[in-house]
């Protein structure tokens, strides 16, 4: 039994959906579960729609119309003017229509998940319909009935016991009758609300299903030849890894390597299931395999760049030393507001952390910390991480940029630059 995951780039247009069908058609003898992301840049567009709805912007309906027209254009190119999937997609978009008719909910993260999740629901409707149109027998399922989470919106925490029971109860029988198509990135609460698993969380979805079903492997199909040592859009002369160990892949994703969601690897490692990262434009290419006892070769450092960072400095109002009790209170605030620390340092009088900038979470964190501490921050920064670095490579990457904070260990160097 195999699990495939296709990202948004692989289904950004009608030709992408057609190509996806061809890739899957090569595995007709296998039991296959296919996880699909939202099409193209739909998640970004739905984020923009969410913001417009919350802010009461005049262009809210125009943004929504653009999203719908984009999908209907793909539908027309695939199916012509008449097919039952048109009604399925329209009925899915109606969920947003109903929501934006009312006043916004107080919790932005809740609103985000209910709107942004529509991208995956629509894309999988289209992909499943195309499979059946091509005589690839397909069953569409709603992942929210199988991956159960708590109420941490935008970062849903999976209830593994409940999730495993739901998946093992239904999915094996469905796999015996054809391809199962479902959504990445999404989960469901006990109150039947939608959660998301974190940005780019479709990889994690695939690993959850694989671990619960004892899959032979997971393949995530990308628009790159495999896992590279750096983003080819930012750095020339990148190299591809033929294989990586689970441990190295976990390190890379922890520091922000975007090719795989950070939570993807651990369930696969626990079940000893290999993860293949392959190019959807060249499905016969070997790509990269992540597995136990892989041979890691690093002829060049792994370079990871995270933009839109904030450097936050917290100190006591009476200029006293930053003690363990202070740190306990600071970390409690980070945990309460679901803010992940990407890099941190302590000095005698301050605690400094580099974090991703998320407006709502940052404002809540700031308000909480200011009740007890003095807080200063710099925004619009960049965090550069080098795994298996050399001093010369680190200096070359930093170049003329101003370094605000720097850390080095045996294998890893991190620097926040302005």
pLDDT in tens, 69-100: 999 999 999 999 989 999 999 999 999 999 99
pLDDT of res. 280 = 95
Which of 20-24, 251-255, 318-322 shows the highest mean pLDDT? 20-24
Band (pLDDT 50/70/90 cuts) for residue 392 is very high
Q: Where are the alpha helices (DSSP H) in 176-291?
A: 202-213, 246-254, 265-271
pLDDT of res. 67 = 98
Q: How many helices (H) and strands (E) does the chain have?
A: 13, 16
Band (pLDDT 50/70/90 cuts) for residue 141 is very high
pLDDT of res. 418 = 93
Contacts of 223 (CB under 8 A, 6+ apart): 7, 9, 10, 279, 280, 281
> Do strands 403-408 and 373-387 pair parallel, antiparallel, or not at all (unpaired)?
unpaired
Average pLDDT over residues 378-391: 96
Within 13 Å, how many C-alpha atoms sit on residue 325's CB side? 4
pLDDT of res. 106 = 85
pLDDT of res. 134 = 97
pLDDT, tens only, 27-45 = 998 999 999 999 999 999 9
pLDDT, tens only, 249-300 = 999 999 988 888 889 999 999 999 999 999 999 999 999 999 999 999 999 9
pLDDT of res. 348 = 95
The three-state secondary structure class of 65 is helix
pLDDT of res. 350 = 96
Cβ atoms of 223 and 9 within 8 Å: the answer is yes
Question: Has residue 367 got a pLDDT over 90?
Answer: yes
Average pLDDT over residues 199-218: 96
pLDDT of res. 105 = 83
Band (pLDDT 50/70/90 cuts) for residue 330 is very high
Picking from 225, 215, 140, 149, the residue whose alpha carbon sits closest to that of residue 183 is: 140
pLDDT of res. 200 = 82
Picking from 93, 62, 89, the residue whose alpha carbon sits closest to that of residue 75 is: 89
Average pLDDT of the chain is 96
Average pLDDT over residues 389-410: 94
Q: Whole-angstrom Cα distance, residue 20 to residue 195?
A: 26
Structural domains for the chain: 2-291 (3.40.1160.10), 302-417 (3.30.2130.10)
- The sign of the CA dihedral 218, 197, 269, 212 is negative
Question: Has residue 199 got a pLDDT over 90?
Answer: no
Q: Whole-angstrom Cα distance, residue 400 to residue 382?
A: 14
Question: Has residue 23 got a pLDDT over 90?
Answer: yes
Q: Is 386 exposed, middle or buried (0-12, 13-18, 19+ CB in 10 A)?
A: buried
pLDDT of res. 259 = 82
């Amino acid at each position: 039994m195999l699990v495939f995951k296709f990202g948004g780039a692989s289904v950004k247009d009608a030709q992408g959906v057609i190509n996806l069908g061809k890739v899957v058609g090569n595995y007709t003898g296998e039991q296959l579960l296919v996880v699909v992301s939202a099409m193209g840049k739909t998640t970004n567009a739905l984020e923009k729609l969410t913001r417009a709805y919350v802010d009461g912007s005049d262009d809210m309906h125009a943004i929504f119309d653009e999203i719908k027209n984009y999908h209907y254009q793909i539908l027309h190119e695939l199916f012509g003017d008449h097919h039952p999937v048109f009604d399925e997609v329209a009925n899915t978009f109606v969920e947003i229509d109903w929501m934006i008719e009312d006043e916004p909910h107080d919790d932005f993260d809740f609103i985000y998940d209910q709107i942004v999740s529509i991208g995956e629901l629509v894309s999988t409707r289209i992909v499943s319909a195309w499979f059946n149109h091509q005589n690839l027998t397909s069953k569409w399922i709603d992942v929210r009935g199988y991956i159960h989470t708590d109420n941490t919106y935008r970062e849903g925490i999976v209830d593994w016991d409940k999730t495993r029971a739901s998946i093992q109860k239904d999915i094996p029988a469905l796999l015996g009758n054809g391809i199962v198509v479902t959504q990445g990135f999404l989960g469901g609460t006990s109150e039947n609300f939608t959660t998301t698993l974190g940005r780019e969380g479709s990889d994690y979805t695939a690993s959850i299903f694989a671990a619960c079903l004892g899959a032979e492997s997971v393949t995530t199909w990308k628009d790159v030849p495999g896992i590279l040592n750096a983003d080819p859009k930012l750095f020339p002369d990148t190299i591809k890894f033929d294989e990586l160990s689970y441990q190295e892949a976990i390190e890379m994703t922890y520091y922000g390597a975007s090719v795989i969601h950070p939570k993807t690897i651990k369930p696969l490692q626990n079940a000893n299931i290999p993860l293949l990262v392959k190019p959807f434009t060249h499905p016969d290419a070997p790509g990269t395999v992540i597995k136990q006892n892989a041979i890691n070769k690093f002829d060049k450092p792994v370079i990871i760049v995270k933009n839109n960072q904030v450097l936050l400095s917290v100190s006591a109002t009476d200029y006293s030393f930053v003690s363990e009790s202070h740190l306990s209170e600071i970390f409690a605030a980070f945990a309460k507001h679901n803010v992940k620390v990407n890099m941190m340092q302590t000095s005698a009088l301050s605690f400094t952390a580099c974090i991703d900038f998320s407006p709502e979470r940052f404002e809540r964190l700031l308000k909480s910390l200011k009740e007890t501490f003095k807080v200063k921050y710099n925004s619009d920064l960049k965090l550069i991480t080098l795994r298996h670095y050399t001093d010369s490579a680190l200096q070359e990457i930093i170049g003329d940029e101003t370094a605000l904070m720097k850390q080095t260990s045996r294998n890893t160097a991190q620097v926040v630059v302005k």
